[in-house]
Structures are given as structure tokens and as C-alpha cells.
Amino acid sequence: MPWPNRHTLFPFLAWLPRQTRASVGRDAMVGLSGAVLALPQSIAYALIAGLPPEYGLYAAIIPVLIACLWGSSWHLICGPTAAISIVLYASVSPLAVPGSQDYITLILLLTFLAGVFQWLLGMLRFGALVNFVSHSVVLGFTLGAAVVIALGQLPNLLGLDLPSQATAINNLLTLIHHSGEWDPASVILGLGTLLVGALLKYLVPRWPTLLIALTLGSLVTWLWPAMFGHVALVSSFIGKLPPLSPLPMDLDVILRLLPSAVAVGMLGLVTSLSIARSLSVRSQQLLDANQEIRAQGFSNIVGGFFSGYLSAGSFTRSGLSYEAGACSPLAGVFSALWVALFALFGAALIAHIPIPSMAASILLISWGLVDRRGIRALFRVSRAEFVVMSLTCVATLLLELQTAIYAGVLASLFFYLKRTSQPRVQQWRDGDEDVLRVGGSIFFGASHYLQVRLQSLQGKRVVIEAQQINFIDYSGVEMLHQEARRLRGLGRSLTLRRARPQVVEELRKLEGADNCPIHFQASIAKTEHP
């Protein structure tokens, strides 16, 4: 096994020396724009995850640096996300009080475990495994997560101090039960921030609308203390760089967190690779999926020790990086450095943000999570995939979020296996031949279906047009041998025409080339059929 070269160990050495003063300056400005966008989002996501606000900033520093330097995408920018934050909250809140030191430690340990899982997938080159989480599952999960996040933030917007429930339905019932306890000042401030943020998003979508809306909400609270002086504010913190966080390697705790770590790790990879692939198509870049997966895992492993909770690709920040003309991953590096400067010197400003305004900004983020165009397109193109999306969404509302992800994956696999278990078959009669053209692999799930089709044929010669059969497993081999022997006993025959060499080889292995009951023919049929 050859020793890995320096570009394998340090992939940023392949592109970093090619940067010029102009490209670095451009990336620094793009990074500043990304940081301005990331600041309110990161704080909001930390609150969704049940963490103190500074942990959102920490998650946008070290993990982002590593993911950009070790990844393969030019424009993918990582950091905390709303969907992952809500999964982390749902996974860990039953084990510790949100915001407590024990809770923070468990979140960081789960981040480390998810990072190890991701890194192992990349090292074993199992990047294709993330394809089992289909796009319909991601659409359904993000739709459900948006509803869960919105229901979780409504009490903050309405000035209520309510404990979070295990499911979205329970949160809704609790909210209805306390409907007469709303605080008018909090409602006015929250709805005002929501209206201003939505209006700015519509009129000037490229501006840092969340930051502007939060700033205006903070100013109103400060300038009108008689009306809003009692409204709760975001907790303050001491400005500092991400501190080291030792993680307890307790086996019982690790085993308890492992299922959630796998689920959220897969969700993060699917999100990140989806964004990276869509941007690579537009930028004409060749993407290395396994390198990207290794980078995601490495960033979360290291991030867990530097107080950064689990990060993944950000739709908004990555899209901004591409649209603003980022020249290299340095744009993401500069974004992390700008956030670090704010965490160090601007922490005191966060303590002036009113909780209802922050809740309003999170509601805007939740609305942005919903891919309305994708849902409409899915309904038009594939009703089966739309059912998968709907089931995942409903599961997200009724079950624990990590369980909902697994439910969506299982639903996707069910429909996939249902399709592949009935490969496309065309049938026609040519003289004394009954011909089947099989379009798909012959594996254990499809063997019975094809056997039933073969047994319904009455021609003296049964011919399978096999040029579209790419793969055959033991069940398929045994089934074809069984049918060939049955036909031979009736004075008939089974022939495979134009079969691929690897298929012929597998069929001849069972009883040896001399005893194989199946005939093989390479010539073209007398009469061509569609």
C-alpha cells in the first residue's frame, strides 16, 4: 500500500499556492458577507439546540476552518444548521437539562461520535451509502423540522415560559392550553420583527435581513423601556475564542448516543453533499465525494473538542459564497475568522437581543427551510417519492426526530425494492420462440417475479434477451438453472441471447460450463422488436 502523498494528507496544498493577492482579497470580502449572514443564524441555531448562544458562534469557527481546508468543494460552507440543531435537541434533552454543563458535554460527545462515523465512511470509501437517504426523505424531514422548530419557538415569541415536549403535537397542545397567558409586549415585538424580516427578505434578499431585523428589535426594546423593559433578553456571555472541551468516553453514554449520532451524521452528509454537488455542476468543478465526507467527519471530530457542536453544509451561506464569486475555499476560512473576531470582541452586543425577536428570526429561518418548489416538483414527477416525503414529514411530527430519519430511509428502501423486484419485461412471440427482454438485474428480490413470467410461456424455445442484465446473484442463477431443467424435461429449452460475459460466467459456475442447462447465443434475433 503506497504511502499517501502530501496532497492526500493536506488537500489544501493543491489549491492554496495558486491564490493571488486579488483572489485572496475577493475571498476575504466574500467571507465577511458570509460572516454577517452567519452571526444571527448561528446564535439562533444554538438556541434551537438548547445551547447557550456562544456555542453557535463556536460551531461556525473551528469546524468551518477544517471543512474548508480539507474538503474538495470550492463553495461549500459548513456550520450549524436548523435541522441538525433540532435533532440534537430532541436526542439529548431527555438525558440532561438543556443549557446545563452536562447537556453541553453530551451534545459535544454526540458531535464527536457523528464525526467519527462520517470520517470512517469516507476512509472506507462508502460515500455512496449516503445515497440511501433519498432527496424525498430530506425534503420531508426538513418540512417536518421546520414545523417542529416553529412550534418550539412560538412560546418565546408569545412571552411564555413553557417546558419543551417530546413531540411537535405535544408542544402544540401545551401552547393551546396556555393560550390565555400571552404577553402583549412580547407578541408585538415578535410579530414586528417577523414582519420587518419578511419584508426585507422580499425587497432586498441579498442584504443581511436577519441581522437588520434583530438590530431593529433590540433598538426598540432599548429606546422604549416602559413598554418592553420586562421582555426577556438573550443570555450574555464573556467574549472568547472556542475553549477546549474534554469529552467523557463513558461506554454506556456512548452506546446511548450512538443511534442518534449515526442518524444526524447521515443527515449532515446528505445535506452537505447535496449542496456541494449542486454547486459543483454550476461551477464546472470535479467533486471528490469521499474526500468531502472525510472532511466533514474530521471537522466534527476536532470541533467537538473545541466546543463546536455538529456542523453541516449551509444552503444560504454556500449559495452566497457562489453567487458572490468566491475564488476558493479561502472564502469559508475568512468567514470563520470574521466570526471568531466577533466572538472575541462583540459578545456584549448579543445580550441586548430580545427573546421574542430572536424567536421571530428563527421562524423566518424555519420558513426558509421549506423547499416549496422541490415539493411541487416531487408531486409532479413521482407519487411514490411524494408518499415517502409525506411519511417522513408525519413521522417527524409524531416521533423522535432521529427515528423519523430512519423511518424515511426505510420507506425509501421499501419503494426502491418494490420497483427493482419487478424489472421491466417486454414479451413477444417469434415463430416457435417466446422472447422476454429483461431490463434490470436478476437478484433475490426479482427472481420470483421472473420465474412466474417464465412459467407462463408456452413456446418450444424460451429466449431471454439479456443485454440489459448487468448483474445476477446466486438466487437468480439458481432460478434460471431450475427453469432450464424444467423446460428440458418438457422437451423445450432456455436460451440467453447477447448476455454480458460476467452474467454468463456466473451462470456457468453453478454446475460447470459443460453441465450448464442454459444455452447461450450471441447472434441477433431474426426479427427486431421495440
The SS3 assignment for 430 reads strand
Q: What is the pLDDT, as a whole number, of residue 423?
A: 84
pLDDT of res. 526: 44
Q: What is the pLDDT of residue 22?
A: 87
pLDDT, position 4: 52
Predicted pLDDT of residue 23? 87
Of 453, 426, 429, the residue nearest 439 (C-alpha): 426
Give the per-residue pLDDT at 167: 66
Distance CA 80, CA 149 (A): 14
Cα(308)–Cα(302) distance, rounded to whole angstroms?
8
Please give the chain's pLDDT, 530 residues, in tens: 444 555 667 888 888 888 888 888 888 888 887 887 788 888 888 988 999 988 999 999 999 999 999 988 888 889 898 888 888 988 898 899 998 999 999 999 999 999 999 999 989 887 666 666 677 877 887 788 788 878 888 888 888 877 666 567 777 888 888 877 888 899 999 999 999 989 988 888 777 787 788 889 889 998 988 888 888 887 777 778 899 988 988 899 999 999 999 989 988 888 888 778 767 766 777 778 888 999 999 999 999 999 999 999 887 778 778 777 778 889 899 999 999 998 888 777 777 888 898 888 878 877 877 888 888 888 888 888 888 888 888 888 887 766 777 777 787 778 777 777 888 889 998 888 899 999 888 888 889 999 999 999 988 999 999 998 988 999 999 999 999 999 999 999 999 999 999 999 999 888 777 788 999 987 544 444 44
Phi, psi of 312 (to 5 degrees): -155, 180
With contact defined as beta carbons under 8 Å apart, do 353 and 42 qualify? no
Strands, E assignment, 398-492: 424-430, 433-439, 461-465
Give the chain's count of helices (H) and strands (E): 23, 7
User: What was the pLDDT predicted at 528?
Assistant: 45
For 490, which DSSP code? Answer: T
- pTM recorded for the entire structure: 0.70
Helix (H, G, I), strand (E, B) or coil at 483: helix
- Residue 131's pLDDT is 65
Q: Where are the domains of the chain?
A: 22-373, 422-521
The architecture CATH gives domain 422-521: 2-Layer Sandwich (3.30)
Q: Which residues contact 469 (CB under 8 A, 6 or more apart)?
A: 438, 440, 441, 442, 499, 500, 503
User: Based on the number of CB atoms within 10 Å of its own CB, is 187 exposed (0-12), middle (13-18) or buried (19 or more)?
Assistant: middle
What pLDDT does 401 receive? 66
